Structure 1
Amino acid sequence: MFDKKRVNRLRWACRRGMLELDVLFMPFVEDAFNDLDEQQQLTFERLLTCDDPDLYAWFMGHQKCDDAQLRDMIKFILNRVKV
């Protein structure tokens, strides 16, 4: 389970160099992260280690992420944003 310190690090990691990513990640970590199961939380943490240009391309649909877990997390985040 993620302790408060680890969640705070995730919040900091959600602050990206691109506004398009900030508006996806910041609300997600605040509103949805605690509802994820442990595996999903680990996947989200791993997603945040990816480079901004890759993240942008994946989230905007310009490229397909090769990692199935990351791809599923991207879809999950995008679906939450659409709601």
Structure 2
Amino acid sequence: MTGDRRIVASNLRALREIRKVAQEELAVRSGIDRSYISDLENEKYAISVDKLGNLAEALGVETWEMLHPATAARLRESKQA
């Protein structure tokens, strides 16, 4: 499970940073507490499917992109290009 948490944490942080969305703003958009978002980014918790969907919608991506191991790397590469 730790690998899955790491993937979600990395993708969540990368998506949020690339879209220039603060944790506070993402919390409002998704209806999820800001401290929980921070804990997710720090791999403290595993996320439920419902909350993962809320975050994906708030960030404008498909839910599967939050789970795909290559999402963060792809986003970082596209940002550098």
TM-score computed with the length of structure 1 as normaliser: 0.37
TM-score computed with the length of structure 2 as normaliser: 0.37
Q: Specify which structure has the bigger relative contact order, considering alpha-carbon pairs within 8 angstroms and separated by 6 or more residues.
A: 2
